[in-house]
Structure 1
Amino acid sequence: MTSPADPIIWLRTETCGLGPYRTDLVETYWRWEQDPALLVGYGRQAPESLEARTEGMAHQQRGENIRFTIYDLTSGEPTPTGVATLLPDHSVRTAEFVIMLGPEARSRGLGTAATQLTLDYAFHITNLRMVWLKVLAPNAGAIRAYEKAGFQKVGAIRQAGYWLGQVCDEVVMDALASEFSAPSAITPAVATPA
């Protein structure tokens, strides 16, 4: 069994890695989820107790959603810094994407790298044809990161969210497998020699 200091990393770049969602990190995940900046960006305004989060973890582990722990690999030792989730609809081969980064990981390019790795997994392992997301319109930093990772704005759900107490739109973005052009961490590893 791997230790927290030696986690399993399924996909990686030089700076970022994705590994399994881990029950031993429930308190860390909960701490990130209670950060006021994250609560504003998610549009969820209510904190959650650690007890409720721990109970919810068992349900999440049994579900069909695909969850990854995001690791910062810049220091040489993998450090958990967030969670990326795909909420698949297998009947139409699409999924909603959700990402959460701890405060220490923001504005360092890890969100973009983790999003690209998650899209790589979605398109090359799960064989999804499209991944979509919603983001509150005032969250310009997140929108830029999603665009760098390969998402495009496709519309808005008007007045569907709140940002700092004000009604705002939710921007809808998508990424298509047929347009995914980021370097793949998967396809070189499984390519067969000619």
Structure 2
Amino acid sequence: MWLSTGGCALGPYRADLVETYWRWEQDPAVLVGYGRQSPESLEARTEGMAHQLQGENIRFTIYDTAVERPVPVGVATLLPDHGVRTAEFVIMLAPEARGRGLGTTASRLTLDYAFHITNLRMVWLKVLAPNLPAVRAYENAGFRPAGTLRQAGYWLGKVCDEVLMDAVAEDYTGPSVVTAGL
């Protein structure tokens, strides 16, 4: 594990977990949350994994560490734009991990990494407006509403707005696991 706190940890993105990641991505709640209408084959996902492991994006496996042996429960990704030191944030949790605060904690750990290791100045995300549990989790992690993309997404087959949220380094108020050991 690279960063850990409060029953949650971030560790390496792993090729041996491709089928697990794929299973989570095919969960109807994830498809709805991403606004996707169609699932992806395991073969296509496996091909994409090789590309992801070689890319410049920063990917973490999220672990539940409140159990006897850490269990993978999700993925957090930073899609950086190194030219302006910003990144888009994307997170996905397994169905069994939702509603327990792991998304909020993993988001905080990812922001900690982004601001204290990668030296990003801003991290942003898009979330479908009707996904109120996700909006609350992001706010609890330190993201703030930054605007709305009107009619930019789909939620349960209906057009909806997407909310833009951001976090900037100087406003990051979460306790830092990174700097605590320095």
Instruction: Give the alignment's TM-score, normalised by structure 1.
Output: 0.93
Which residue number corresponds to residue 59 of structure 2?
67
Distance 2:121 2:6 in 1: 27
1:124-181, Cα deviation, whole Å (9 max, x unpaired): 0000000000000000000000000000001000000000111100000000001101
Q: Which amino acid aligns with 2:41?
A: S
1:90-133, Cα deviation, whole Å (9 max, x unpaired): 00000000000000000000000000000000000000000000
Moved over 2 A (4+): none
The CA RMSD over aligned residues, in Å, is 0.5
1:26 aligns with 2:18: yes
Which residue number corresponds to residue 148 of structure 1?
140
Matches within 5 A, 1:107-186: 107-186=99-178
C-alpha displacement of 1:188: 1.2
Aligned with 2:75 (options 53, 75, 83)? 83
Which residue number corresponds to residue 42 of structure 1?
34
Structure 2, gaps ≥5 residues long: none
Structure 1, gaps ≥5 residues long: 1-8
Distance 1:78 1:25 in 2: 14
Identity of aligned residues (%): 75
Which residue number corresponds to residue 104 of structure 1?
96
1:52-104, Cα deviation, whole Å (9 max, x unpaired): 10000000001000000000011131000000000000000000000000000
C-alpha displacement of 1:44: 1.1
Distance 1:12 1:172 in 2: 27
Instruction: Give the alignment's TM-score, normalised by structure 2.
Output: 0.99
Aligned residues: 182
C-alpha displacement of 1:14: 2.9
Preserved contact between residue 65 and residue 71 of structure 2 (Cα < 8 Å): yes
Question: Rg: which structure is higher?
Answer: 1
